[in-house]
Amino acid sequence: MADPFTIRIFVPDGDPEGVRLIDRLNWTGLGIVFPRAKWQEVRLRPEVQRTGVYILVGYGGQDDELPTLYIGQADEARERIETHYTGNKSKDFWDWGIVFVSNSGGLNRAHVTWIEHALVKRAKEAKRCYLDNGNSPKNRRSARRKRPIPAPS
């Protein structure tokens, strides 16, 4: 049996369908869930200026009821999501965004690259969504293990 835990959900604007900040006791992470319509407010939050992983979710015109996902990572999540909101890499399909960052600054580029890889892999294995990712992130952890260990000089 799994160990029990507590999840806290903070709703900063009082709308349970709006922006939600989600954390778990004894966890250094923070999840931010928001509708696309609230991005202009969310982008001002200091949490989205951290290194993190994000998922954009929508129902982009597919014939069945499976959602379309885009999974990404960035040194500053806000900058990357902004390009998907308005920039030349705009993704029009998404209605919801989810960002995972660290409260303690404990995530770095290597961490979020591996988390992105793991999320894309799980999404493909589950076959419960369409992925809008153009390429698959590499598993940097296994790539490092395959390198030969240099001989001592």
Number of domains in the chain: 1
With respect to residue 153, please indicate whether it lies within any of the assigned structural domains.
no
With respect to residue 143, please indicate whether it lies within any of the assigned structural domains.
no
What is the DSSP track for 72-126? EEESSHHHHHHHHHTSTT---S-SEEEEEEESSS---HHHHHHHHHHHHHHHHHH
User: pTM, whole model, 2 decimals?
Assistant: 0.85
With respect to residue 112, please indicate whether it lies within any of the assigned structural domains.
yes
> pLDDT digits over 64-116, tens only?
789 999 999 999 999 999 999 986 667 888 999 999 999 888 899 999 999 99
The residue segments making up the domain with residue 62 are 27-138
> pLDDT digits over 123-149, tens only?
999 999 999 987 766 665 544 444 555
Q: Residue 71 is part of a domain; what is its CATH number? A: 3.40.1440
